[in-house]
Amino acid sequence: MLRALLTLGFCAGAVVAAPVSGSAIDSSNTPLRLAIQLTIAAMVPMLFVTMTPFLRISVVLHFLRQALGTQTVPSNQVIIALSALLTVLSISPQLSAIYQGVIEPYNKGTMSEEQAFLAGGTQMKSYMVPYLGEKEIAMMLRVSRGPAPKTPADLAFPVIAGAYMLSELKSAFKIGVLLYMPFLIVDLIVSAVIVTLGMIQLPPVMVSAPFKILIFVIADGWTVIIDAVMKSFEVVR
């Protein structure tokens, strides 16, 4: 996990270093370099949450919890921990490539700070591009008021990052709708039975929740859903 955060820190540097890569900044200006490094460190959690599979996985797990009707079970801490673990496992090949091709040369002094930042950002761009939707890219280009690139590799990092977030949210909500449907059917059946029996004052949730949990456990729901979510990333690749 520490290596993953360190790797994402170099990728975050691409966002900070890109606007100033062509400017003449005195490398001996320690306060400025320190400010940039602190900014990069602060961006690591944001990158991990928004520019990795963490975004889709965490949203899907929250939808699942709402569909089950268990309110706060599992807790937010458990959902975040599970999403973070699955994220690191999912992008471990990319993180290893960045660590070996960027961080290690930088630590050995064979690669400058700016080169390391740009190389890390390029690696992240190559990871996110396959998941981008055309509508999301067009919208972000319109917002940025930038020229249309000839190839996806020519897209600016902020455009790719914004389009990736929107595409992942769209995918997560599509999966969430599919998750809700079976549990919604159970709720409708239970409500119809309660109304038929004349027990109108009995909340349907009190009756349907145990049945939904029972069906979910019998179907080995956690394994099935996590496996389906992780396979959704493989389909794009």
Residue 173: predicted pLDDT: 94
Better pLDDT: 2 or 92: 92
DSSP string, 133-155: -HHHHHHHHHHHTPPPPSSGGGS
17 has a pLDDT exceeding 60: no
Question: 3: pLDDT confidence band, cut at 50, 70 and 90?
Answer: low
Residue 205: predicted pLDDT: 78
Q: What is the pLDDT of residues 20-78, one digit of tens each?
A: 444 434 444 567 667 766 777 777 788 888 888 999 999 999 999 988 888 788 889 99
**Global confidence as pTM:** 0.80
Q: What is the pLDDT of residues 78-129, one digit of tens each?
A: 999 999 999 988 888 888 888 888 878 877 878 777 777 788 778 888 888 8
Task: With CA atoms as reference, report the closest residue to 26 among 11, 18, 36.
Answer: 36
